[in-house]
Structure 1
């Protein structure tokens, strides 16, 4: 499933075309994805100007001028591509290269832009993605957002915030970081990477990073900084592009080539002067990769 950096990559790729454009038609080629589309979805979107594109955790937000927001989730295999021209069935000149089999094109935003007609096409072979429509002023009440913690790139996330959440907890650090009520949008890959960068074991009790008075220890300060850095690096690199994720221009991201610990079981640890070997353990059904020698 695409993680936060992948969704942010998609948002940045779509923004130049979609922001300020008018949706002349929303074409739905099936009645549902993972869930049915909202009632009269196409009619409620048609004619609307797109005010802005945003993101909350792993969700793409398409803000419309009428105060409604399309909430889109990519699921396991969802992707967007951008094409020039007005006719959905015409080959046209692609603004970006085609990236998916057209038989899996399920939603098409037909747009009027200053550069002329464009199509933004949502493709999803496994159909685990979905789109909902919600009032922008009530986004905090959207079920998936109601209990979300702060963004890992936002100003709210700090060691003090995590100290309040972790104090007295025996929950392993890996599980605590994947808990979306603690931090929104962190997934398995980048948690492994952040723990490696801060030299903390995924098996360590989260409460051990907090002092008896509830203050963050230096380890937790380092972890917080590592989370920010690994997410920023991944966004700059265009996302990890694991499995089916692609950028909107059809190219693959390359952060996967700079993983330091994720999916490197049996390989030498990349920490300078460390002679350890990367191990894999299973936590709550997910693989954790870490170096037992330098991550404590």
Structure 2
């Protein structure tokens, strides 16, 4: 599924075409994705999109009257079309702009979301979220304090949005590998020094992935239709049974929290 870098790349891709432009109309072809699409999304019509922000894996299209909240789910993607073209089977939402362009949302598995939040209100999907991983609020000290006494695998801990948002499965695997930390270790056992390394690696791997255009997954391509490039440089994710790029030992694979986990027993402790 699209993770934080893919969502951020989507934000960067669509923003130049939409920010400052007025919405002419919205066309919804699927009454329900992960949740029912609210009729209030019609309030977008006639509004100027003032900004497009990202919170965790949600895109926030902000107007003077409220915010459209978009989640790409398991297989969703956004495209900016220069002009309307016939919609395909999985093209569920179109945002027609007064400048002639169209923001098209495609989602084969229908596990994404389009929601609405009135101006000045809050939405439950954005409640109880931890800091952004690339923000100043995400520090080793903060994570070390939250992890004290926690008997949960460190991989699950850093993937929990209550602690930090947007560290998905791919990037949790990669960050733990480059930090030299076994994903099965209890979060409470991670030392302050190890947290310094892990937080630094999480920031680094996410920032680099955004720079490279997001990880190429079978269900994801950028807003301009071009795939991301970071997947070509993954060290351990999806490489079970292959040689470790550092020591040559075979990469191990097991389920942690029902998610595929990849690691090297030699390089990670």
TM-score by length of 1: 0.87
Structure 1 unaligned spans of 5+: 90-100, 211-215
**1:134 and 2:117 are equivalent in the alignment:** yes
Q: Which has the larger radius of gyration?
A: 1
After superposition, where does 1:21-170 map in structure 2 within 5 Å? 21-42=21-42, 44-66=43-65, 68-85=66-83, 87-89=84-86, 102-113=88-99, 117-139=100-122, 142-170=123-151
**Deviations along 1:79-110, whole A, 9 cap, x unmatched?**
1111113x454xxxxxxxxxxx7222111111
Question: How far apart are the structure 1 equivalents of 2:7 and 2:157?
Answer: 22
Offset of 1:249 from its aligned partner? 0.8
Match of 1:222? 197
Shift of 1:185: 1.1
Aligned CA RMSD, in angstroms, stands at 1.4
2: distance between equivalents of 1:186 and 1:136?
28
- What is the distance in 2 between the residues matched to 1:40 and 1:49? 16
- The change in CA–CA distance for 1:294 and 1:35 in structure 2 (over 3 A counts) is same
Structure 2 length-normalised TM: 0.96
Report how far residue 36 of structure 1 moved: 1.5
> Are the counterparts in 1 of residues 215 and 229 from structure 2 also a CA contact under 8 Å?
yes
Q: Which runs of 5+ in 2 are unaligned?
A: none
Matched residues, number: 269
**Secondary structure, counterpart of 1:2 in structure 2:** coil
- CA positional deviation for 1:294: 1.0
Question: Which residue of 1 is the match for residue 231 of structure 2?
Answer: 256
Match among 161, 173, 179 for residue 192 of structure 1 = 173
Contact map agreement 2:41 2:68 (CA 8 A) in 1? no
- Contact 2:64 2:119 survives alignment (8 Å): no
Distance 1:222 1:284, change over 3 A: same
> In 1, distance between residues paired with 2:158 and 2:135?
16
